Structure 1
Amino acid sequence: MDFSFLRNFGITLFALLNALGMLPIFISYTARETKEVQRIVAFFVSLTVLGLLVIFMLVGTPMLNFFGVTLNSFRIAGGILLLIIGINIVNGKGTNTTDSLSDKQEDKKSNLIEAKSVYSQIVIPMAMPLLVGPGVIANVILYASEAEKIHKGTAFELIPVTAFVTFLVFLVLASGKSLQRLLGNIGLSITQRVMGLFVAAIGVQFMVTGVIDIFTSQIMPELSKIK
């Protein structure tokens, strides 16, 4: 397969995942965790992102067709979810951490247990729809289709690039403690609420885009037929 095609896919995918933009939100969810726990959670989230990307890459279109769901409907539903999440973050309900650092055991077993607990609480919305949103899903499905129809390859050839991009996402999320120390508690709280506002705005944008696309692709043609 053409290297430039794979390169463009990787760059576009990393840009759409927007791990850097989602980092403050990830920190807000894991602010009270140890560095080791935060890294394990980052690994779990990144692994989930990889799994979701591969699934949508290979069976995205058939899956949506099977459930009778259009990408625009998926975009609107994701937008509603993001709007609710953004409002909760702005109101200070975005973090679900419990114990303070002094109460946490430092051994690997307790870190893993704590990481699993945090991961189960934040996998939705962190992995999806914040990282793997409708735009990412559409991009993956589109490139998988082009790989087969235009470049005479298979969607499987995109998986190594996807794995590399996901590894970059892990590195970004795993650097959370460094940024947390830089911002401090007050800075982190302010950043959390600002990012919550952006999450809500992204949700509204998803809904607006979905409604406009449905109107232009379905309603407008029907109205033109009536005229």
Structure 2
Amino acid sequence: MEFWHQFIAIFISLFVITDPFGNIGIFLSITDGDDEAYRRKQALKGSIYSFVLMFVFFIGGTYIMHFFGITLDGIRIGGGLIVSRIGFSLLSPKEEDSHSEDEKDESKKKSDISFCPLALPLIAGPGALAVVIAASAKIGSEAGNAMWFSYATISLAIAAVSFLTWLCLRHSGLLLRLLGVNGMNAITRIMGFLLICIAIQMMITGSEQLLHSWGLIADDAHHAFSKATKSFAF
């Protein structure tokens, strides 16, 4: 039961943040004029690169935090701010996004777009990397078999998200025809709303832990909050 809860929590969070459906339009735009074989190759390589990026930041998350002197609360609050910005941008897809026309034009000139901009920053962007680092830091407080179990569970979740991302990009043309522009926009807005909820929870959890460490929240209230949010993946 614990496996499925942790797996689903991380899987949903990463799937929403990486937003494969929202990236379909951008992927088709920067591969406009290319044949289907090229698109499929770029989709596969981009998904593999994004998995490697998220996995490396997940495994090395604790070391990254220690090197820069960043606390888990700082990651939660900072990551929450990044994720919330992404969420609000998805709620207004008609507004100019972070990928300018110049960036898209430059991408079209590249012979290989799988790493940049596809894997980074479209799929494994700052929001996704912040989430896996936070998950890594939380696992660092565990011990023994529980720690290794969590590492394996979240690694599988990252792999599952990367696989679904590959499927979405590989069949991007078909999905766009089936869902249409309005359908894609509707899914994007739903993703944006869920992202904002995840971001707020990250910031609430980080702020509560920080205030408790400063002695501004009583132990009883802190324990009650920790119990209520125990299932929160990061």
Q: Does TM, normalized by the shorter one, top 0.5?
A: yes
Name the counterpart of 1:38.
Answer: 39
Does the alignment pair 1:177 with 2:165? Answer: no
Name the counterpart of 2:79.
Answer: 75
Name the counterpart of 2:93.
Answer: 89
Number of residues of Structure 1 aligned to a counterpart in Structure 2? 205
Q: TM-score, normalised to structure 1's length?
A: 0.63
Q: Does the 8 Å CA contact 1:75/1:207 hold for their aligned counterparts? A: yes
Residues of 1 paired with 2:127 and 2:38: CA distance?
20
Q: Does the 8 Å CA contact 1:79/1:202 hold for their aligned counterparts? A: no
1:27 Cα shift? Answer: 0.9
1:223 Cα shift? Answer: 2.2
Residues of 1 paired with 2:195 and 2:152: CA distance?
32
Alignment of 1:6-45 (within 5 A): 13-18=10-15, 22-32=19-29, 33=31, 34-45=35-46
2:117 to 118, 121, 130: 121
1:219 Cα shift? Answer: 1.9
Does the alignment pair 1:149 with 2:144? Answer: yes
1:20 Cα shift? Answer: 11
Structure 1 unmatched ranges of 5 or more: 105-109
Q: Does the 8 Å CA contact 2:16/2:195 hold for their aligned counterparts? A: no
Residues of 2 paired with 1:152 and 1:22: CA distance?
28
Residues of 2 paired with 1:135 and 1:159: CA distance?
11
Structure 2 unmatched ranges of 5 or more: 219-234
Q: Which consecutive segments of 4 or more residues in structure 1 shift more than 6 A?
A: 4-9, 154-160
State the secondary structure of the residue aligned to 1:90: coil
1:127 Cα shift? Answer: 1.9
Question: Which deviates more from structure 2 when the two are superposed, residues 65-74 or residues 22-31?
Answer: 65-74
Deviations 1:118-163 (A, max 9, x none): 75234444223488354444345555775x6225859986798468
Residues of 2 paired with 1:50 and 1:169: CA distance?
10
Does the alignment pair 1:194 with 2:186? Answer: yes
1:58 Cα shift? Answer: 2.3
Fraction of identical pairs, as percent = 16
Letter in 2 for 1:173: L
State which structure, 1 or 2, has the greater radius of gyration over its C-alpha atoms.
1
Question: Which deviates more from structure 2 when the two are superposed, residues 45-54 or residues 137-146?
Answer: 137-146
1:91 Cα shift? Answer: 1.9
1:46 Cα shift? Answer: 1.4
Residues of 1 paired with 2:166 and 2:100: CA distance?
20
State the secondary structure of the residue aligned to 2:53: helix
Residues of 2 paired with 1:124 and 1:27: CA distance?
15
